[in-house]
Copies of this chain bind each other. A is one copy, B any other.
Amino acid sequence: MKSEARSVGLPTTDWAAHAEQELKRAGHRSSAPRSAVVEVLGRQGCVLSAREIADELRADGRDVGIATVYRALELLDELHLVQRLDVGEGTVRYEPAHPSGEHHHHLVCDSCGRVSSFEDRDLERAIAHLAGRLDYQVGGHDVVLRGACPACSSA
Contact = CB atoms under 8 A, between A and B. Distances in A.
A119 to B, nearest CB: 10
Given A88-B92, A134-B5, A134-B118, A127 B139 contact: no
* Copies of chain A in the complex: 2
Contacts of A148: 136-137, 139
A60 interface: no
Given A5-B134, A125-B126, A140-B146, 15 more contacts: A1-B133, A3-B133, A84-B88, A107-B134, A110-B139, A116-B136, A118-B130, A120-B126, A127-B143, A136-B147, A139-B147, A139-B148, A142-B142, A142-B146, A143-B144
B136 A107 contact: yes
A2 B144 CA distance: 23
B133 A153 contact: no
A122 interface: yes
A98 to B, nearest CB: 18
Contacts of A125: 126
A1 B132 CA distance: 12
A137 B123 contact: no
A11 interface: no
